[in-house]
Amino acid sequence: MRREGENGYRIPAGCAISGIFDRTGEKINGWEIVKSIAVMHDRSNGLGGGFAGYGIYPQYKDYYAFHIFYDSLDAKHECEMFLERHFDIADLSKIPVRKNKNITDEPMIWRYFVIPLQSKLVESQLEEENFTRRCVLHINDKIKGANVFSSGKNMGCFKAIGFPEDVGDFFRLEEYEGYCWTAHGRYPTNTPGWWGGAHPFDILGMSVVHNGEISSYDANRNYMESAGYKCTLLTDTEVIAYMFDYLIRQKQLTLQEAANVVAAPFWQTIAAMPEKEREKNIYLRDVFSSLLITGPFSILLGYEGGLMALNDRLKLRSLVVGEKGNRTYIASEECAIRAICPDVDKIWAPKGGQPVILSLDQQA
Amino acid sequence: MPLNYIFPEFEVVRNADQCVACRACERQCANEVHHYSEEYGRMIADNSKCVDCQRCVTICPTHALKIVKSDNTFRENGNWSAQTIKEIYRQADSGGALLSSMGNPQNYPVYWDKILINASQVTNPSIDPLREPMETRVFLGKKPSTITRDENGELVTKRPPRLELSVPIMFSAMSYGSISYNAHASLARAAKELGIYYNTGEGGLHEDFYCYGPNTIVQVASGRFGVHKDYLNAGAGIEIKIGQGAKPGIGGHLPGKKVNEDVSHTRMIPMGSDAISPAPHHDIYSIEDLRQLIYSLKEATAYQKPVIVKIAAVHNVAAIASGIARSGADIIAIDGYRGGTGAAPTRIRDNVGIPIELALAAVDARLREEGIRNEVSIVVGGSIRSSADVVKAIALGADACYIASSALMALGCHLCRSCQEGKCNWGIATQRPDLVKRLNPNVGSKRLVNLITAWRHEIMEMMGGMGINSIEVLKGNRMMLRGIGLNEKELEILGIKHAGE
């Protein structure tokens, strides 16, 4: 079985996505999101499911939580040597799983709570975030059989080949609680043999679940590789996560600005804007022209303290938002919201290219 | 001596039943092929003068004329083609280097024709350009590498100087002198109407055309013909011409017979003198000198104009482009070996340079590898023959395309490749007033607008098929391309997979 991304092996996929966010920071049990995504069973085909939870590791909230798949003991050994050379490892353990008859061929799945070694940081002349990013990209590109699939602080991704509800059961999500959850059910056209290709895709806590197949992929990838990111999976999700990491963390754009880059307003819309807004949008489209995303997509972008939902500018994929009290629900289909919140106060569909940005109330 | 005689390449075939001896062909042919014989009471032709420009065929009111390739043959020889043999006879006769015009006509591979474009099926939808916005606007110039914000945290939206194009096609450099006043007028008006640019070439800018400045790129070549401060400031951008695809390594050639009073005034050279540009710029013997010229031009224009550096596609083009990108240029124009010209030594036109497809792929890849792709835009030409070539060029990594031969064809050029003679029957590559007036700028500009409008429609159709509704992300989107009948090495250089992969 070829590993996804190897020798240009790219698999198109359709999907279902779902997310829950509590702006007061109140904890939501991981099983809630499993119930939601399970309703959209028919939007996935059992070849990939996954979740991201935020606020789930309060005991290690200042440490990067690396979730790593290993294909072999050799890979694990090599990767751990690398981690030891670059990081202070506060804790490491297998990620607890429960046997599920539909989840098979699991790799070794380990979790590490790490912070960069001070001496290495000084030597590299990078700040903590850049240093960690480089290490993650290095492992994924260079250490064969090791894949860091989650690397944020106080968050974690859980993913596998299987239907999402089985994946949630396998990873015992009912044992985790967080203020934000996203979920994904995958409908790939080919059979991926490898778990790394499932969603969410995460880089330093910026995680993406995505439904769609983007036509701008290679233009986006070329730009990101030129900026130092190595796309190893050749999936849309991977490049989209890198794009947001780049625009928001490296270029310091606001979420709204980043949304205006990837789902840019049409020129005719820009022409009708007030001058200042127009200038700004022309600037963003011109400067980041290669980071526009075309083709259908609906994404949930999770990050520390917030969640953003975004549709392509033509709204070629469904995306629905529901609100109830402090909680916001976002899903590919309304049924996935109703399944866990039957009496929502408000339900609506955001326009194409119009981001829905949620963030924690102050202090949380 | 009989060795002087070369059998004519073309034969004028006149249908005697249809010919009414109106003598229109005689009046229209600047090569003096046709004349009326009082003695025989009919039209006769001197085939030896015919260049197959198709003018007489096109204007003959009774459709009595056709031009065919002569079937007179030398004894067939796989090694010595008739063309080669004739050229030897001509050189033995004259002692001169052979001169030709337009692009390399030899039978080398055309990579555009070995590349196929993708379309969406099922997994993502194609987009209908008749019903959805389909965007073809592009900007050329440097992209700022750092984002700056004012004290209120608002983005500072000032950008380096740039060109804005409604569609990523521009009219490539053709000098006033090599082509006519009316040809320039047609190009300038069309560029303005289309929201794109035309290029003065190295012959200066006629004073009548300063009004088209916002749609004009002014060129500075090694001969510096017609270059002065007002000229530099007249255009929207400045192009330094290092080389051109038709004749890499040498400068421009304008035969003295095309230098009339107006051309002489615009070029700032004496009437009737050959305008032979030096092979190199004598102030650029190395890459650091290029940087100085770029900044001299920027100083002269107060850093308001993007500077294009145009080079011919040669073997080491990727490294050269990388050097140019680091020298302050805003745009690199690369001209492939099929690029046209008004006059070039035949041997150079036919044997020097490399295909634009390979050069483009190599340059784009190199600039990306080095992380400097955003420092410059890439414009390619030589030769872009259709909207499909444009789509393929953009997907290989070009920001925009230059067209010239196809623009001339829109004006009537029939590719007879005799521009250097100055007797263009279509009023394009000539300065003879009686010929120039045959090209009506109202008609010419309209035909150019039609051509680009048609191409734009086709580009939008192809983009829509790929599910791409903005040309910005067609750029460098090589996964949208597949090769057909190409070997591994060619695919590797083009950075594309083979069809079926």
Could you give the CA distance from residue A145 to residue A79 in angstroms, rounded to a whole number? 9
What percent of chain A is modeled with pLDDT above 90? 83
A194 pLDDT higher than 80: no
Does one domain contain both B488 and B387? yes
How near does any CA of chain B get to the CA of A288, in Å? 8
Domain co-membership, B178 together with B282:
yes
A contact test, residue of B120, B123, B135 with most A CBs within 10 A: B123
Alpha-carbon distance of B88 to B318, in angstroms, equals 36
Stretch 218-277 of chain A: residues touching chain B, C-beta under 8 Å: 218-220, 222-223, 225-228, 251-253, 257, 264, 266-268, 276
Instruction: CATH number of the domain at B57, please.
Output: 3.30.70.20
Phi-psi region of A195 (alpha: psi -120 to 50; beta: other; left: phi over 0): alpha
Q: Quote the mean pLDDT of chain A.
A: 92
Tell whether the model's pLDDT for residue A156 goes beyond 60: yes
Q: Are B146 and B176 in contact (CB under 8 A)?
A: no
Token pair 């233009």 is found at: A219
Q: What is the pLDDT of residue A364?
A: 44
Instruction: Enumerate the residues of chain A whose CB falls inside 8 A of the CB of residue B161.
Output: none
For chain A, domains (ranges, CATH) are 6-359 (3.60.20.10)
At B442, is the pLDDT very low, low, confident or very high (cuts 50, 70, 90)?
very high
Residues in chain B closer than 8 A to A288 (CB atoms): 143
Residue B152 lies in a domain: no
Among chain A residues, CA nearest to B465: A215
Question: Which chain B residues are within 8 Å of A228, Cβ to Cβ?
Answer: 371
Answer yes or no: do A219 and B477 touch at CB < 8 A: yes
The set of residues, in sequence order, having a beta carbon less than 8 Å from that of A130 and lying 6+ positions away, is none
Q: What is the pLDDT of residue A232?
A: 84
Using only the alpha carbons of chain B, give its radius of gyration.
Answer: 24
B76: exposed, middle or buried (C-beta count within 10 Å: 0-12, 13-18, 19+)?
exposed
Instruction: Determine the average pLDDT of the residues in A20-32.
Output: 96
Angle at A44 between CA A38 and CA A47, to 5 degrees: 110
3 state DSSP class of A253: coil
**Domain annotation covers residue B156:** no
Confidence of residue B3 (pLDDT cuts 50, 70, 90): confident
Give B400's DSSP letter.
Answer: E
pLDDT in the model for residue B145: 87
Which of B69, B96, B123 is the C-terminal boundary of a domain? B96
Q: Where residue B238 sits, what CATH number does that domain have?
A: 3.20.20.70
Share of chain A above pLDDT 70, in %: 95
Average pLDDT over residues B449-458: 98
Residue with tokens 């805003």: B330
Residue of A nearest to B162 (CA): A286
d(CA A200, CA A195): 11
pLDDT of residue B124: 82
Domain assignment present for residue B174? The answer is: yes
In the three-class reduction of DSSP (H, G, I as helix; E, B as strand; rest coil), residue B311 is classed as strand
Rounded mean pLDDT of B320-347? 95
Tokens for A221, please give them: 């990838």
Residues of B in contact with A216 (CB under 8 A): 468, 473, 477
Residue of chain A whose alpha carbon sits nearest to that of B124: A213
Cα-based distances in Å from B206 to B188, B212, B259: 11, 11, 13
Top residue of B126, B157, B167, B492 to mutate, by most chain A CBs within 10 Å, is: B157
Residue of B nearest to A214 (CA): B124
Q: How buried is residue B61: exposed, middle or buried, by Cβ count under 10 Å (0-12/13-18/19+)?
A: exposed
Query: Tokens for B163?
Result: 């060109």
pLDDT at B65 over 80: yes
The answer to whether the CB atoms of B157 and A283 lie below 8 A apart is yes
How many Cα atoms are found within 13 Å in the side-chain-facing hemisphere of B16? 4
Burial (0-12, 13-18, 19+ Cβ within 10 Å), B46:
middle
Chain B nearest CA to A272, separation (Å): 15
Q: Between A255-262 and A236-244, two packed helices, what is the crossing angle to 10 degrees?
A: 140
In this structure, of A73-82, A143-152, B94-103, the range with the lowest mean pLDDT score is B94-103
Neighbour count for residue B460 (Cβ, 10 Å)? 24
pLDDT reported for residue A193: 63
Q: Give residue A45's pLDDT band: very low, low, confident or very high (50, 70, 90).
A: confident
Active site residues of A: 15
Return d(Cα A361, Cα A358) in angstroms, integer: 9
Residue B458 forms part of a structural domain = yes
Distance between CA B462 and CA B454 in Å, rounded? 13
Task: Calculate the dihedral angle through the C-alpha atoms of B131, B136, B137, B138, rounding to the nearest 10 degrees.
Answer: 150
Contact (CB, 8 A) for B416 and B52: yes
**Residue A1: per-residue pLDDT:** 47
Min Cα–Cα distance to chain B from A147, Å: 24
Which one of B145, B165, B392, B477 would you mutate to disrupt binding with A, by most A Cβ within 10 Å of its Cβ?
A: B477
Best to test chain B binding among A289, A291, A316 (most B CBs inside 10 Å)? A289
From the centroid of its chain, how far is CA A20?
Answer: 14
Quick check: A280 and B157 CB within 8 A? yes
Is B60 inside any structural domain? yes
The dihedral formed by the CA atoms of A262, A266, A267 and A270, expressed in degrees to the nearest 10: -90
Closest partner residue to A215 (CB to CB) among B124, B143, B497 is B124
Distance CA B320, CA B153 (A): 40
Count A/B contacts: CB-CB distance under 8 Å.
116
Taking only the tens place, the pLDDT of each residue in A260-274 is 999 999 999 999 999
Coil, strand, or helix at residue A260?
A: helix
pLDDT score recorded for residue A12: 67
> In this complex, do B473 and A220 lie within 8 Å of one another by their Cβ atoms?
yes
Beta-carbon contacts of residue B40 (< 8 Å; ≥ 6 apart) = none
The pLDDT score that the predictor gives to residue A198 is 87
Is the pLDDT at A291 greater than 80? The verdict is yes
Residue B149 lies in a domain: no
Residue in this structure with the two tokens 């022409």, named with its chain if needed: A271
Contact A289 B472 (CB under 8 A): yes
Rounded to an integer, the average pLDDT of A178-198 is 83
The answer to whether A22 and A53 have CB atoms below 8 angstroms apart is no
The reply to whether residue A293 touches residue B123, judged by beta carbons under 8 angstroms, is no
Domain extent for B336: 138-144+164-498
Query: Looking at residue B50, what is its pLDDT?
Result: 96
CB neighbours of residue A170 within 10 Å: 21
- Cβ neighbors of B48 (< 8 A, separation 6 or more) are B8
* Among candidate residues B339, B322, B462, the one with its CA nearest the CA of residue B394: B462
Q: How far apart are CA A208 and CA A199, in angstroms?
A: 7
Q: What is the rounded distance in angstroms from the CA atom of residue A253 to the CA atom of residue A244?
A: 9
ipTM for the predicted complex = 0.91
As a residue count, chain B comes to: 501
Tell me how many domains chain B contains: 2
Task: Supply angle C-alpha A119, A120, A124, rounded to 5.
Answer: 120
Please indicate, yes or no, whether residues B268 and B390 belong to a single structural domain of this protein.
yes
Q: How many helices (H) and strands (E) does chain A have?
A: 11, 18
Evaluate whether residue B125 is within a structural domain: no
- The mean pLDDT value for A54-77 works out to 96
Look at strands B307-312 and B331-335 and give their pairing: parallel
- Per-residue pLDDT of B162-207, as tens digits, reads 999 999 999 999 999 999 999 999 999 999 999 999 999 999 999 9
Contact call for residues B361 and B313 (beta carbons, < 8 A):
no
Residue A186 binned pLDDT confidence (cut-offs 50, 70, 90) = confident
Residues 387-416 of B with CB under 8 A from A: 397
Q: What is the largest CA-CA distance in chain A?
A: 60
Alpha helices (runs of H) in B16-139, residue ranges in sequence order? 24-28, 55-59, 82-94
Phi, psi of B284 (to 5 degrees): -130, 100
